[in-house]
Amino acid sequence: MDKIEQIISILKRDYPKFRTPIVTEFAERTRDPFKVLISCLLSLRTKDETTAKASKRLFELGESPEEMVKLSEERIRDAIYPVGFYKTKAKRIKEICKRLIEEYESKVPDTIDELLKFKGVGRKTANLVVTQGYGKLGICVDTHVHRISNRLGLVKTKTPEKTEFALRELLPKEYWIVYNDLLVSYGQNVCVPISPFCSKCSIREYCERVGVERSR
């Protein structure tokens, strides 16, 4: 078993110890690409607990593009506060819902290229919708995935987007979807940005600890 397989195997074993990332939680509960898209937008620059509460409040007001587009921007703002950039996100949600209705028959696109045409949707969000909403292949790379992949020495990249394309070349396709969940969970609980918990890291023997100056 090579290094990547060992790492994935260990992280899968440890995964139940930690809380499931909130967008994944929504996806597992609903399998609704629209809710995955909206909750992912809310999660950007926002803690999971805040995202969970804001998503719940918003989806109680509307669960489809048709229902949500009827809400005023102010009502959406009130529902999602205090997520990061809540005013901008309220505006984006209205725009996205309107466009979904007018151009996509209210159906969220299932390809990354098509999703990237929406303002406010980046590669992370697009990949998450494709993988968690539709179960199609993709590699979602957020700050945790980018950081840990570089710390481990699996890639040597400067941006999440470059990490995504490097991982597409490196990872066997069977690991593409699960990789994000495993690393986000581990990054929130063990391999944190500053002073990671290397002393209790179960994959330390496979880690090159690139860029780690201080650990616990």
- Residue range 134-164, pLDDT digits in tens: 999 999 999 999 999 999 999 999 999 999 9
Looking at residue 85, what is its pLDDT? Answer: 96
CA distance 156 to 167: 10
Contact 101, 108 (CB under 8 A): no
- Residue range 11-52, pLDDT digits in tens: 999 999 988 777 787 777 878 999 999 999 999 889 889 999
Intra-chain end-to-end CA distance of the chain, in Å: 29
Q: Where are the beta strands (DSSP E) in the chain?
A: none
- Residue range 82-99, pLDDT digits in tens: 999 999 999 999 999 999
Domains identified in the chain and CATH numbers = 3-19+139-206 (1.10.1670.10), 31-134 (1.10.340.30)
